[in-house]
Every structure is written in structure tokens, then in C-alpha cells.
Amino acid sequence: MSYRPLFGMALWLGLALGLGAQEKPQVFTGAQIIPIAGEPIAHGVLIVQGGKILAVGAVGKVTLPAGAEIHDVTGKVLMPGLIDSHSHVGSGSGGDGSGPIQPDARVLDSLDVRDSSIQKARAGGITSVNVMPGSGHLISGQTLYLKLRAARTIDDLLIKLPDGTNAGGLKMANGTNSIKAAPFPGTRAKSAALVREQYIKAQEYRDKIARAKGDPDKMPPRDLGLEELVEVLDGKRIVQNHTHRHDDILTVLRLSKEFGFKVVLHHVTEGWKVADEIAAAHVACSVIMIDSPGGKMETRDLDWRTPAILEKAGVLVGFHTDDPICDSRRFLRSAGLAVRAGMTRKGALEGMTIANAKILGLDGRTGSLEAGKDADFILLSADPLSVYTHVEQTWVEGQKVFDLTNPQDHLYAVGGVGAGESRRAQLCCFTSAWDLIMSANEGNQ
Amino acid sequence: MKNFLRSLLLLSLATAPLALRAENLAITGDTIYTMSGTALRHGVVLVRDGKIEAIGAADTVKIPAGYRVLQAAVVTPGLIDAHATVGLSGLLNQPQDQDMWEKSAPIQPELRAIDAYNAKDPLVAWVRSFGVTTVNTGHAPTALISGQTMIVKTLGRETDEDVVNPAAMTSITLGANGLNAADGSPGSASKSPGTRAKAVALLRAELIKAQEYAHKRDGKDEAKRPGRDLRLETILRGLDGTQPFLVTVNRQQDIVAALRLAKEFKLKLILDGCADAPLVLNEIKASGFPVIVHPTMQRTYGDMENLSVETAGKLHAAGIPVALQSSYESYVPKTRVVLLEAAVAAANGLGFEPALASITLDAAKLLGIADRTGSLEIGKDADLALYDGDPFEYTSHCTGTIINGQVFADGPH
């Protein structure tokens, strides 16, 4: 084990050099740039510094800062880092089997940042992700919006809001996933009744707090679940709602209207049947592109034209992997298949980036290449909608977190022995060259 | 219940294909991948009575009067899915449409796909809409011996009419999915095999039993001959190679175990899955056995943990015959589409033409049906797929599927 301190030193040295380099402006020049904000630039230049975008424009039209580090990326395609508005990378969890409503449970307290699924997401070009608890509850817990920076602990991935809290939503579900044996609801009507009851409790809890006017004697006892629902009622936390069937979609819209909470519809399998109603409610959709319909009764009418139909109705449409349902490494495929089924190219690319940023309330900092936004971007070998295109590099806030030419990153990108493993057993007498690579990699993550 | 049945009926009507009877066709393509030679630029395929009548450059093949002309940017042979569960594992994923897994015992080779295949399941039409014309479908790789596969055209008519080979292979699964104790699902009658070693022991015992059965059956004394045994008869067809074993193995030790069995019993196997194949390429190559590689986009769970999108390419580069498959999914997607799986393989080391071959001619050879389908040659079945661009591109569409000269065009997919 004598090599370990050496690895530690190398790591710190690398980190120090990395930080040093970050201070210098970095210029990426020659690529076709798809800024999302504005038309594509055939030969573009992107300048980043201190984790932020300084400038985006055509080669020759943007002044290059002195002392900049130049990356010639001629022939590549450069676009904003992808945003996945619904994923389960990191093997997180939410509520347990004790009941259908558990807004107190936090993904924050369960995520394994060294899970290989997170590096695979980086390999897929994903720079921001909404990690959700499952859909087996009416309310399964608090979701977490993450930046996929290089990370050793969960704290390295968090997105801090101006008030110091962690960005995240609330996961809700309706339809058959959350219908099961008591104490869970047995029908759709009961599901809605339980949710209404809970939000009424939250309204009363909020009112009690307001009436107390800060007097500790008049304050209701703290309730972790109701506190989160009050955030939802106050519009601070967006409800991310799993829903498939058209009548379930309408139920979500009805509840959202009754309690005035912001909601995003997820999966939206039958969204094509009620696109106008969704548009009229000004509610956004996060759509999953699955290879075939079915798998359960409520997804038998899945149609790849859903994103196109929603787009045409004027609905904000994003995409998600629901990883591991769809592989994060093939996330761009969602946009390709949506275009195949009639969505505009512009809409599909926005659905991978800025639309999802809006869905998560992060569009002020990411989702497009604009001066002042976070330097979250990816380098592609060719057009983003082609099956033959590879994600070559992924950058989060000006730091490279994935590079296809790095053998270890290549392994995560294509698969193979070691790519599925998050941790290797640390056995004293069983080390190999492979273990050395893996231990170094664990340090990097 | 009545309403439920009615809605099911409506669903099946809504998804029923607009199939026309076989007609005389002239299919013109900007590019025609015949798979029997170099691609034709500006070519024509003539179809008469369900068979390919002529094929060649547009200026050499005269289109006879009365032939219906279809145009496409790209024409390929009808796609072949070398291992599927469509028609047995239905779209709804409800108990009434899940016939790919009989849980009452770990060894049931007597189960025939033909007795379960539902030609009208919407997933059959779904894969057809991407150009898939032939599937080798059957019992899922979920038990030590789960049953037999059949090769069927995706015409979606009466099952028997569409069949190419009613009993193509017998499915064996080694590794975690072949273990009953790992299942734990209700209805599993047996707790054995619970380990890899036990699974192979049971399998060897079964093969030996079949050999002894054959010996007794062929004995001179008629009175001592055993009664018919459907189970052992099936095993015997595996032993003599007339209905080979399709062995699903993903971990390297399971691949090697399959090769060891093959040596002991002089079996000719078709290897299936093979996620760990890059670790034992030499051994697979030496065996001479072909491989039906796992779906490229399969999830990386359990025995599939090491799967790589480059495996198909590595096997091909090593000279090992390769076909691709949609395999089996217990949840979503209820079926994969072999075209989309081949697309990802094409982009990750396999390359365009080998990837196309892995779902056309190479798959046909592997399934023993290359005399009928898999390439565009005079006299073969008129099975074709039409596309408006590179078939593998996410944004291309399949604009028509032709099976035995029948045109299916349910709109671009």
C-alpha cells in the first residue's frame, strides 16, 4: 500500500495545477457552436474564465483576452452541457414502505457520488441533473438538482440557491405506481384525496406560522414534511410529478390549480391526448423516449410523437433519461428520436438544455451559452442528433470532468470490465495494475 | 371485464396493419444494400409472387407494366432479429400476455414457442414498423432450460402461416438468470438450481439422461423401449445438432462453462448475450461458435455489468460470426428494436456494413434461413425494408416494410 501517499500527492498536485489553469481564460476556437441562445455559429469561439462564460461569438468577431489558453477545436461541435430533468444516477432513495406521503425524505441523505452511473452521465454530456426518488409514492421525497462537477462528496455537487439552501424539487406520482396495499392508496380517487388532505394540512400549518408572527409560544411544532410542502405552496420548490395516463395528467393539473403550486409533468406518456389542456395550464413537460410502448397498462399508448405534439401546442418540453430506464450515455438519442417523430430540431435541442434548465428553475445560470452563465458545455465529434456522434469532452463550470481520450473515461463511455463498478474491495493482498487505476480514479471522483 | 375486453379489441383494431396481399412490385432505391455484393446505386428490385424476380441497376432492369412502384432513399433486406421474445412477452406486461417464462420448473425444453406466440400482439407490428421482417422468438433467458424458439415472419397473421421454422433452437441460460433461487418471484416452484455449479450439474445430468434414453429407444428389444418423452426428445435434437442449443451466457465463467459442456457432449452451440466476450475472445474463436450479442443498449445490471457497446465490433474483428438481438425485457421497453441496437453497435466499432449484416445476412446464416431471406438475391423471399436515409440514424424513418411481397406502410417510423 506504499503507493497510496504517492497517489495522494499526485492528486493534490494535479488539483493545484488545475486551479492555477482555471485563473487563465480558456478559449475554445473553431468549433461549430450551438449556443441555444441564438443561431448556430459555423466557426465559433467560446471564452470561459473562473467557471463562467466570458464571451461567445464567431471567430474573428470576438476579442481574445491576453494570456488565454487556446484550445483548437476545429471540426467539433460545441454546445451547452446537457440537463437531465429526471434521473436516478447515484443510486439515491426517497421514502420507504411506511406510507404514501413522505416529503421529509431527502435524496441528499442517500446519494453515492462515487456510483459509476454519475461518471456515465458525464460521459453522456450531462452537466446538470435532477436526481429524483422513485415513483412508488404519492410524495416520495425531495429531489436534488446537481452539477456534475468533479466530486468527492455530495457537497461538491450541490447547487446553492441565494438563500443558502440546496436547489431541488418535490417528487410526486400518480397512477398505478403508487397504488398498492395499505397504507398506500388503492385507487386513483383515493390517491388524489390523500394528496389534497396533505396540502390542506400544509396550508393550515403555514397559516399557523403566519399567525404566530414569530412568537415561539404560538408556533406549531416543527414538521419536516409540512415544511417542504409549504415551500411548494410558496413556489420555492417545484413539484416534479410522475404521470402517464391522460386522466392522471388532468388530475395533476387540477391539484396544481387548487393549491397554486408550480408543477412539471414527467413521462407524460399520454400527453399527446391532452396537449391543449397542458398548454392552457402553462405547465411544462419532461418527456422520456422509450424504445417501445407498453410495459404496464398505463403506458400502452406511448407515442414518439408526444414531444412534437406538445411543442406544437405551445408546451415547454424537456427530456429525461429516468436513468437507469434509459442510459445517460445515450441521452442525446432522446432528441434524435423526437425529431424523427416530428419535433423541430430547435425544440429538441432546447429540450436537452434550456427547456430543462427552465423546468428546474436553473435557466439563470445554465442551459445555454451566454456571457455570464456557468461554463457548462460539451464537445461533440459531429452533429448532436447523429447516432455516429460521440461526446468527446464534458466541462462543468470551466472544469473538464470527462475526456474520451482518457482511458478510464473511455471505459465509462463504452462499458467493459470495471465500468459498472462503483467501488472495488480494498483487499490488502490482492492488488493489480487495475486496482491502481481504480484507486487513482476514486481519488479523482 | 366486458369493457376491458372491448377496449383491448379496439386497441388491436387500431394497430392492425394495412396489409395488402402479395403484389408485383418494383422497388427503386438511391442505394440498395443487397448484402450479397457491393451496394447498388440507383437500383431496382422486382418482386413477383412474393419472391425477388430481378435486381440490378436502374438502367439495366426494365420495370414491367402493372408493377406497383415504391421508392426509397435506402433499401435493405428485411431485418432479422436473431433472438427476441416478441409475441410471447406482450406489450401490456400483464399476466395474460406474458408467456415467455414458465416458472413451474427449471428445466422445460418441451415448451414450444409456437404454442404461445401471439402474432397479433402490438409489439410484433411495432418491430415490423422499423423494418424487422423475421424474428427468432421464444422463451426468455430466465430459466436453466426455458423452452424452444421459433423463427417467424412478422406478418401478424395466423401463427402457423407465418412460421419459417417452428422449432429452431432450445434455450439454455447459465449464470444468475438461470438460477431459480435468485428469482424469488411467486410461482417459482423450485429452489434449485441455486448456484452456478448446481445449474451445470443439472444440465449435465439432463444431457446424460437424454443419451441413455436414445440408447434404450434404439435398442433391439422393442418391449424394452421407453415411451415417448417430449423433454428428452428435445434435448436429443440439441445433442445431434438438428435443433441446436441457444446458450445465454454473460459472465466469462459462464461462457467458459458453456464451452466445457460443448466439449464434453460434442455440442454445436449458439452463444447468446456474451457481455464478457472480450475477456475470452480466443476461447470463443477457437470454439467456432457464432454469437448473438446482447442488445447494445441493454442495462448494465448483474451479469450484464461489464457489457460494452464495442463488444459486437470486437467479436466481428476477431472473425467470430455475429448477429444482434432485442432479447428480453421484464419492464420497459417491453421490446427493444434490433435496428436501433445495431445502430449503436455500428457507431461503436462494428461499422455500417457489418452492423447491417448482423441484422440481415449474417443473422440469416446463423439461423439457418439464408436460403430464403437475409439478402436481396433472385429467388429469395421478397423481404425488404425501405428508409428515407441512413437506416441507423436516429432521425431517419422506415417508410415501408415488405414481407413475402406484402407491403406494410403504417406511416414513417
Instruction: State whether A147 and A285 are in the same domain.
Output: yes
> How many CB contacts within 8 angstroms connect chain A with chain B?
113
**Neighboring chain B residues of A293 at a CB cutoff of 8 Å:** 91, 122, 126, 334
- Give the distance, in angstroms, between the CA of residue B412 and the centroid of all CA atoms in the same chain: 24
Nearest residue in B to A294, CA atom: B91
Cα separation, B195 vs B179, whole angstroms: 7
Give dist(CA B27, CA B53) in Å, integer.
Answer: 11
pLDDT of residue B180: 74
At B301, give phi and psi (nearest 5°): -105, 155
- Residues B302 and B388 grouped into a single domain: no
| Inter-chain touch A293–B126, beta carbons under 8 Å | yes
Last residue of a domain, one of A359, A390, A425: A359
Q: How many domains does chain B have?
A: 2
CATH number at residue B19: 2.30.40.10
What is the CATH number for A68?
A: 2.30.40.10
pLDDT-derived band at A328 (thresholds 50, 70, 90) equals very high
Rounded CA separation A284/B253 (Å): 49
B278 and B311 in a common domain? yes
Name which of B394, B398, B399, B413 to mutate to probe chain A: the one with the most chain A Cβ atoms within 10 A of its Cβ. Answer: B394
- For residue B277, the chain A residue with the least C-alpha distance is A416
What is the spatial distance between Cα A285 and Cα A85, in angstroms, rounded to a whole number?
A: 10
pLDDT for B228 equals: 96
A217-273 tens-digit pLDDT = 999 999 999 999 999 999 999 999 999 999 999 999 999 999 999 999 999 999 999
> pLDDT at position A10, please?
43
Q: Are residues B126 and B210 in the same domain?
A: yes
> What are B203's three cell numbers?
444440465
pLDDT of residue B160: 81
Interior/surface letters B177-189, b for 16+ CB within 10 angstroms, e for the rest: bbbbeebeeeebe
Write down the ipTM of this complex: 0.92
**Which residue shows C-alpha cell 449464470?**
B175
Q: Are B128 and B156 in contact (CB under 8 A)?
A: yes
Question: Are residue B178 and residue B231 in the same domain, yes or no?
Answer: yes
Rounded Cα gap, residues A408 and A405, in angstroms: 9
Spans of chain B, pLDDT less than 70: 1-21, 181-190, 410
The answer to whether B399 and B353 are in contact (CB under 8 A) is no
Give the torsion sign (CA, A358, A363, A364, A365). Answer: positive
Summary mean pLDDT of chain A: 91
Whether A306 is in a domain gets the answer: yes
Q: Are residues B55 and B156 in the same domain?
A: no
Cell reading at A369? 451559452
Q: Are A147 and A157 in contact (CB under 8 A)?
A: yes
User: Rounded to a whole number, what is the distance in angstroms from the first to the last CA of chain A?
Assistant: 20
User: How is residue B111 written as a grid cell?
Assistant: 415448451
Nearest CB to B91; choose among A291, A294, A418: A294
Residue A435 domain flag: yes
- List helix spans (H) across B116-266: 122-128, 159-162, 196-217, 230-240, 252-265
Q: Please choose, from the candidates B413, B372, B406, B412, the residue with its C-alpha nearest in 3D space to the C-alpha of residue B156.
A: B406
Cα distance between residue B347 and residue B362, in whole Å: 18
A379 with B268: CB under 8 angstroms? no
Is A370 domain-assigned?
Answer: no
A337-346, A368-377, B155-164: least confident range:
B155-164
Do A99 and A49 lie in a common domain? no
Q: If you count them, how many residues does chain B have?
A: 413
Q: Nearest by CB to B94, from A291, A297, A389: name it.
A: A297
Three-state secondary structure string covering A289-352: CCCCCCCCHHHCCCCCCHHHHHHHHCCCEEECCCCCCCCHHHCHHHHHHHHHCCCCHHHHHHHH
Chain B CB contacts of A414 under 8 Å are 308-310, 348
Interface mutation target, options A89, A288, A343, A387, chain B, most CBs of B under 10 Å: A387
CA angle A200, A201, A207 (to 5 degrees): 90
Q: In the predicted model, what is the mean pLDDT of residues A128-142?
A: 97
Q: Within this chain, do residues B283 and B342 fall inside the same structural domain, yes or no?
A: yes
* Interface residues from chain A to B (CB-CB < 8 Å): 290-297, 299-300, 324-325, 327, 330, 333, 336-337, 339-340, 385-390, 414-421
Q: What CATH number does the domain containing B136 carry?
A: 3.20.20.140
Encode pLDDT of A270-325 as tens digits: 999 999 999 999 999 999 999 999 999 999 999 999 999 999 999 999 999 999 99
> In this complex, do A340 and B396 lie within 8 Å of one another by their Cβ atoms?
yes
Range of B7's domain? 2-77+377-408
Q: Tell me, what amino acid is at A97? A: G
Does B334 contact A294 at a Cβ distance shorter than 8 Å?
Answer: yes
Q: B172 and B126 in one domain?
A: yes
The strand pairing partners of B70, in sequence order, are B27
Per-residue confidence at A42, pLDDT binned at 50, 70, 90? very high
pLDDT bucket at A422, cuts 50 / 70 / 90: low
Residue of B nearest to A417 (CA): B306
Domain that holds residue A423: 3-79+376-444
**Does residue B68 sit in the same domain as residue B216?**
no
| Domain-embedded: residue A415 | yes
CA dihedral B354, B357, B358, B362 (to 10 degrees): -120
pLDDT for B190 equals: 63
Q: Which cell numbers in the block locate residue B112?
A: 414450444
Give one DSSP letter per residue of A49-110, joined into a string. ETTEEEEEEETTTSPPPTTPEEEE-TT-EEEEPEEEEEE-TT------TT-SB-TT-BGGGT
Q: What pTM was estimated for this model as a whole? A: 0.92
Q: How confident is the model at residue A20 (pLDDT cuts 50, 70, 90)?
A: very low
Best of B314, B334, B336, B350 to substitute, by most chain A Cβ atoms within 10 angstroms, is B334
Structural domains counted in chain A:
2
Residues B277 and B225 reside in one and the same domain: yes
Amino acid at B4: F
Is B181 in the same domain as B116? yes
Give the type of residue at A43: H
Handedness of CA A16, A19, A24, A27 (dihedral sign): positive
Question: CA-CA distance, B262 to B267, in Å (whole number)?
Answer: 4
Is there a single domain that holds both residue B87 and residue B54?
no
* Residue A140 buriedness (CB in 10 A; 0-12 / 13-18 / 19+): buried
Cβ-defined contact of B394 to A333 (cutoff 8 Å): yes
Q: Are B199 and B193 in contact (CB under 8 A)?
A: yes
Distance CA B339, CA B324 (A): 9
Residues A203 and A332 in one domain: yes
Cβ A136 vs Cβ A342: under 8 Å: no
Q: What span, in angstroms and rounded, lies between the C-alpha atoms of A271 and B96? A: 27
Per DSSP, the residues of B357-413 read: HHTTHHHHHHHT-TTTSSS--TTSB--EEEESS-TTSTT--EEEEEETTEEE--S--
Cell of B344: 449503436
Mean pLDDT of A367-396: 98
Mutation target to probe the B interface, by most B beta carbons within 10 A, among A245, A302, A388, A391 is A388
A231 in the same domain as A314: yes
Q: Judge contact between A41 and A32, C-beta under 8 A.
A: yes
Is A1's pLDDT higher than 90?
no
Judge if the upstream peptide bond of residue B193 is cis by omega within 30 degrees of 0. yes
When pLDDT is averaged across residues A41-54 and rounded to a whole number, the result is 98
Q: How far does the CA of residue A289 sit from the closest CA of chain B (Å)?
A: 10
- Residues of chain A with Cβ-Cβ distance to B335 below 8 Å are 291-292
